Amino acid sequence: MAGKFKVAIVGSGPAGMSAGGRAAETNVSHILFEKSDHLSDTIYKYQKGKFVMATPDVLPLRSPMTFQAGIREDILGTWDKEAAKHKVNVRFKSEVVAIKGQKGNFELRVQGGGDIVAEYVILCIGLQGNLRKLECEGADRPWVQYQLDDPDAYSDETIVVIGAGDAAIENAVALAKQNKVIIVNRRDEFARVKQGNLNLIAEAIDKGIIECYYNSEPGHIGDNYLLLKTAEGEAKIECNRIIARLGADPPRRFVESCGIKFPSKDRAALPELSGSYESNVPGLYILGALGGYPLIKQAMNQGYEVIEFIEGRPVKPADEPLLESKFANINVPVEEMLQRIRQNVPLLSGLTTLQLREFMIDSNVHTPRRGDVIFHRNDYTNSFFSIVQGNVDIQINPTNTAEVVGLGQGQFFGEMGLISGRRRTATTISASDDCVLIETPRRSMIKLVNSVAAVKKVLDQTAMARQIQTHLAPAVPTSELQEVVESAKIESYPAGHVIFNEGDQGDAVYLIRRGSVTVSRSIAGRNLVLSYVPAGNYVGEMALLSRKPRSATIKTAVATEAVRLDGSAFNKVLDKYPDLRRRLEAKYDQRLVENVRMEASPESGSLIEFLVAQGVGEATDVLLIDESLCVRCDNCEKACAETHGGTSRLDREAGPTFASLHVPTSCRHCEHPHCMADCPADAIHRASNGEVFIDDKCIGCGNCERNCPYQVIHMAAKPPAKPGLLQWLLFGMGPGPGEDLEAKKIKSSSPKLAVKCDMCKDLAAGPACVRACPTGAAIRVNPEDFFALTIRG
């Protein structure tokens, strides 16, 4: 044996390197194995110049090594320097291939010799494991590579990128700037990639910048060509380089060979660990992504903590002070409070400690007194509330505040806004003095729903019952709706999907819970849109009441979710509650009248159809210009630029026009903002009046720009400040107010950040574009109101 150490660390990623640093700092005898010739191979393999995030922002870093958000090169450089400074005992190019033994006496076998013995082993090998290689003939040729460091290093080459994941797309798009790029996809579409990347590759293929072979696999690699097996036969592609991005095999086999057990056969399963990151093998610790802590900062904190645990110095998790301050107003120790949340709120009981801690760091704890308003009807907030203790009342009738539904300990509310993306449907007030509520922001809740299936299920079931009661049958007690709820199903449809056709048989009623639909009828061979139905309303009741075939076609305007209610179950409720039947019939009659009116003025229907085709159906507030009034002075754009640091967020001229109604390129403040979907810095928010805005956390990554289907976000550097009005007027110093929209003298050093319309939320009188329009051509409206006016005439 070559050596004996107290601690052996396997893998020099953020966790291993931080553990090594802490061990060196506290004079613990240690050795750090790294299979490559540099530290932190996973980050080393990031694309050159990649911006590395330091999320979660609020989590303090606890490590002898420093780390803050920045460019890949800077971060790696700092770590190299600090590892040297602390004299971390690193052994490069040493892959550990086997770990045997038990606490106090582990034997580590190292590829190429130099085996050692250690009392403790810390495994920080991440999930990257081994890169998958091509298996076809010729895959070992030197011009086939499995990673890409710097796409700018190649120019004027023909490069084939094999793979359909995020890495392949990012590489292909980056290389296409100065090379001819061909991408090979084994399937017929790019599934399971980030929306932003999907848009990027779709656009590049559309414009012919990148050529794509679908349903194709490499068959053979020759001297300067790739033989591709496609659905139509073989294709020979001459190329200079092949870059295969095929993902990686998780290191499960190796981990299991060390004696570590996995809880299930699921490929994504991770080993179970104790609170001090120890595996089922005593003395063997697992940190980082393999231990369920995928973020750099978390892993670095773990590296520090594990050395403390081994040295017998107990430490509290790094986020402890954060949670302590969260719980300060209820004066309960963190551990006890987490326990209480788990016990009292069934929705959160299935979360792991890590998940719950993270959930609570994002959330806020409120202790309202009896009668305090938690949120108002029509607020545009979209946070989610869980009741840890006490009661709240939901005022279900806006005209009579005494009519309430009470919710108690363990229940939750606020999910309707989360699902529909629309304003709050009811005012909620605290009903007891000992109320303890957890308020969770939309983003964290969506993350939780997407990662814990049980949460989604409970949320959907409860929300469904409430949606039925709120929008369809407010006077009917929950118990009476049991059968309807049990037979109800949540269905999701893509945009443009026909839910049912005119003339179809069927008596199901659809309650739109997200998105919107149009109602249309075929008249004299032409499809005529009769109305627009947003979330929170129902369709299909006409056939139920009249017992005739469907009288109109229902088509989704945007991606839509509806609760499908079984007709016969619903009819039973109607029989029992004649008031409800009368209400529905009154609505039915109203729709009949509206339909007749719309049939008489087909141009209104065409207008709705046009606007829906422009995606206005998912808007909450849209800028519309009446071109018969617009004198093309561009004062709207000038006002936008002048009130937003010199860059206009709207393009008046761009965008489609129907009759004289023009939809300029300007943010619509979507119900479910596409821009918010993938913002790594969490910089996009919705204000309580509905404005979707970007705050100063923006890092300029461009995801929102790519994700916006309406091209209303762009990346812009801040132009220099302008001289004042009087200086311009009296001394001719330019540019003056409204001049030089495209300020030319932008310093190249000022970073490009995302800019978009914030509906002038900070100006009391409302949007500057509308107020600066001299002729009243520009208005901002809620499409729902606009459609309602169009329909009523």
Partner 1 sequence: MHESILVYRHFRYLKWAVTLTVVAILAYVFHTPGEPANGGTWLGYTLGGIGAGLIFWLAWFGMRKRDYAKPTGKLEDWLSAHIYLGLSLIFIATLHSGFQFGWNVHTLAYVLMMLVIASGAFGLYAYIRYPRLMTDNRRGTTLDAMIVEMAEADREIRELAAKMSDEIRDLVFDAIDNTTIGGGVRRQLEPGRSGRTVAAIDKVRSAFASGARDQTETSRRLISLLTRKNELVVRARNDVMYKAMMDVWLYVHVPLSFALLVALVAHVIAVFFYW
Q: Which residue's entry shows tokens 């003339």?
A: 503
Return the residue of 556, 768, 787, 791 that touches partner 1, per CB under 8 A: 768
Q: By C-alpha distance, which of 460, 467, 466, 411 is closest to 438?
A: 411
Return the residue of 397, 654, 695, 711 that touches partner 1, per CB under 8 A: 654
Return the residue of 49, 222, 398, 656 that touches partner 1, per CB under 8 A: 656
Check residue 772 for interaction with partner 1 (CB under 8 A): yes
Q: Binding to partner 1 (CB under 8 A): which residues in 624-653? A: 624, 626-633, 635, 638-639, 642-643, 653
Name 62's Cβ contacts closer than 8 Å, sequence gap at least 6.
300, 301, 304, 305, 318
Residue (324 or 653) nearer to partner 1, CB: 653
In sequence order, what DSSP letters do the residues of 568-619 get, joined into one string? HHHHHHHHH-HHHHHHHHHHHHHHHHHHHHHHH-HHHHHHHHHHHHTTGGG-
Helix (H, G, I), strand (E, B) or coil at 731: helix
Name 157's Cβ contacts closer than 8 Å, sequence gap at least 6.
179, 180, 239, 240, 241
Where are any strands of DSSP class E within 111-175? 116-123, 130-131, 144-145, 158-162
Q: Would you give the DSSP letter of residue 471?
A: I
Check residue 330 for interaction with partner 1 (CB under 8 A): no
Which alpha helices (H) appear in 218-319, and where do they start and end?
252-257, 296-310
Residue (338 or 772) nearer to partner 1, CB: 772
Check residue 333 for interaction with partner 1 (CB under 8 A): no
Return the residue of 458, 737, 740, 741 that touches partner 1, per CB under 8 A: 737
Return the residue of 57, 725, 731, 751 that touches partner 1, per CB under 8 A: 725
Check residue 389 for interaction with partner 1 (CB under 8 A): no
Check residue 741 for interaction with partner 1 (CB under 8 A): no
Return the residue of 235, 405, 746, 781 that touches partner 1, per CB under 8 A: 781
- Dig out the tokens for 29 from the structure: 């005898």
Residue 774 burial (10 A CB sphere; 0-12, 13-18, 19+):
exposed
Return the residue of 24, 416, 418, 773 that touches partner 1, per CB under 8 A: 773
Check residue 727 for interaction with partner 1 (CB under 8 A): no
Check residue 723 for interaction with partner 1 (CB under 8 A): no
Check residue 532 for interaction with partner 1 (CB under 8 A): no
Return the residue of 736, 740, 741, 746 that touches partner 1, per CB under 8 A: 736
Residue (592 or 733) nearer to partner 1, CB: 733
* Distance, first Cα to last Cα, the chain: 90
Q: Which backbone phi and psi does 615 adopt, to 5 degrees? A: 80, 10
Check residue 592 for interaction with partner 1 (CB under 8 A): no
User: How big is the site for partner 1, counted in residues (CB under 8 A)?
Assistant: 40
Helix (H, G, I), strand (E, B) or coil at 16: helix
Check residue 776 for interaction with partner 1 (CB under 8 A): yes
In angstroms, give the least distance from the CB of 482 to partner 1: 44
CA dist 119 and 122 (Å) reads 10
CA dist 78 and 81 (Å) reads 5
Check residue 473 for interaction with partner 1 (CB under 8 A): no
Name 137's Cβ contacts closer than 8 Å, sequence gap at least 6.
219, 220, 221
Check residue 623 for interaction with partner 1 (CB under 8 A): no
Residue (210 or 619) nearer to partner 1, CB: 619
612-648 burial, b at 16+ Cβ within 10 Å, e below that, comes to bebbbbbbbbbbbbbeeebeeebbbbbbbbbbbebbb
Do strands 30-33 and 498-500 pair parallel, antiparallel, or not at all (unpaired)?
A: unpaired
In angstroms, give the least distance from the CB of 728 to partner 1: 9
Q: Is the peptide bond before 441 cis (omega within 30 degrees of 0)?
A: no
CA dist 106 and 96 (Å) reads 12
CA dist 11 and 41 (Å) reads 9
Strand partners, 384: 440
Residue (68 or 775) nearer to partner 1, CB: 775
In angstroms, give the least distance from the CB of 657 to partner 1: 5
Considering only the stretches 46-54, 466-474, 518-526, 773-781, report the one whose residues sit in contact with partner 1 under the rule CB under 8 A.
Answer: 773-781
In angstroms, give the least distance from the CB of 718 to partner 1: 17
Return the residue of 5, 277, 309, 786 that touches partner 1, per CB under 8 A: 786
Q: Is the peptide bond before 735 cis (omega within 30 degrees of 0)?
A: yes
Residue (554 or 641) nearer to partner 1, CB: 641
In angstroms, give the least distance from the CB of 471 to partner 1: 27
Q: By C-alpha distance, which of 274, 436, 451 is closest to 340?
A: 436
Check residue 41 for interaction with partner 1 (CB under 8 A): no
**Which DSSP helix (H) or strand (E) runs through 527?**
strand 526-534
Residue (590 or 775) nearer to partner 1, CB: 775
CA dist 206 and 225 (Å) reads 25
Check residue 398 for interaction with partner 1 (CB under 8 A): no
Return the residue of 104, 373, 775, 793 that touches partner 1, per CB under 8 A: 775
Residue (580 or 639) nearer to partner 1, CB: 639
Residue (107 or 626) nearer to partner 1, CB: 626
CA dist 116 and 231 (Å) reads 52
Residue (373 or 763) nearer to partner 1, CB: 763
**Which DSSP helix (H) or strand (E) runs through 393?**
strand 392-395
Q: Are 34 and 111 in contact (CB under 8 A)?
A: no
Do strands 241-244 and 116-123 pair parallel, antiparallel, or not at all (unpaired)?
A: unpaired
CA dist 96 and 529 (Å) reads 68
Question: How big is the chain by its Cα radius of gyration, in Å?
Answer: 30
CA dist 712 and 697 (Å) reads 19
Residue (474 or 738) nearer to partner 1, CB: 738
Considering only the stretches 8-16, 100-108, 177-185, 760-768, report the one whose residues sit in contact with partner 1 under the rule CB under 8 A.
Answer: 760-768
Q: Are 383 and 439 in contact (CB under 8 A)?
A: yes
Residue (46 or 787) nearer to partner 1, CB: 787
- Dig out the tokens for 302 from the structure: 């773990």
**Which DSSP helix (H) or strand (E) runs through 533?**
strand 526-534
Q: By C-alpha distance, which of 691, 657, 655, 651 is closest to 675?
A: 691
Which alpha helices (H) appear in 468-528, and where do they start and end?
482-487
Check residue 619 for interaction with partner 1 (CB under 8 A): no
Helix (H, G, I), strand (E, B) or coil at 481: helix
Considering only the stretches 187-195, 430-438, 586-594, 772-780, report the one whose residues sit in contact with partner 1 under the rule CB under 8 A.
Answer: 772-780
Encoded one letter per residue, x for contact with partner 1 by CB under 8 A and - for no contact, window 478-497 reads --------------------
Check residue 771 for interaction with partner 1 (CB under 8 A): yes
Residue (290 or 663) nearer to partner 1, CB: 663
Residue (196 or 719) nearer to partner 1, CB: 719
Check residue 761 for interaction with partner 1 (CB under 8 A): no
Q: Please provide the size of the chain in residues.
A: 793
Check residue 603 for interaction with partner 1 (CB under 8 A): no
Residue (466 or 638) nearer to partner 1, CB: 638
Considering only the stretches 14-22, 112-120, 430-438, 759-767, report the one whose residues sit in contact with partner 1 under the rule CB under 8 A.
Answer: 759-767
Check residue 738 for interaction with partner 1 (CB under 8 A): yes
Residue (269 or 789) nearer to partner 1, CB: 789
In angstroms, give the least distance from the CB of 768 to partner 1: 6
Check residue 791 for interaction with partner 1 (CB under 8 A): no
Check residue 7 for interaction with partner 1 (CB under 8 A): no
Binding region for partner 1 (CB under 8 A): 624, 626-633, 635, 638-639, 642-643, 653-654, 656-657, 660, 662, 725, 736-738, 763-765, 768, 770-777, 779, 781, 786, 789
